[in-house]
Amino acid sequence: EKPVVFKQELQNEEAKEGKQVRLTCELSKPGTLVKWMKGDTVLCASEKYELKQHGTVAELIIRDVKSVDA
């Protein structure tokens, strides 16, 4: 079985403080579990973070962006 690879790499995004930002990547195989991380910390769904996955596309939405989210 072929390894899962990124078809679309994660791109840098800019957002103003207090707004939200959407990070998206696309994988070569649908249904692959994606783990979003900031450094060594795994991000979990919360009021701050929304995680979505549809087929091969995974999204992370960060609400109320602050400078520490960079």
Please name which of 53, 61, 54, 55 lies closest in space to residue 23, comparing C-alpha atoms. 61
Low-confidence ranges of the chain (pLDDT < 50): none
Reported as a single tens digit per residue, the pLDDT across 59-70 is: 999 999 999 988
Report the percent of the chain where pLDDT is more than 70.
Answer: 100
**pTM of the shown model:** 0.86
Question: What pLDDT was estimated at residue 28?
Answer: 93
Give the span between the Cα atoms of 32 and 14, in whole angstroms: 27
Enter the CATH code of domain 6-12+20-69. 2.60.40.10
Please name which of 66, 67, 43, 52 lies closest in space to residue 22, comparing C-alpha atoms. 52
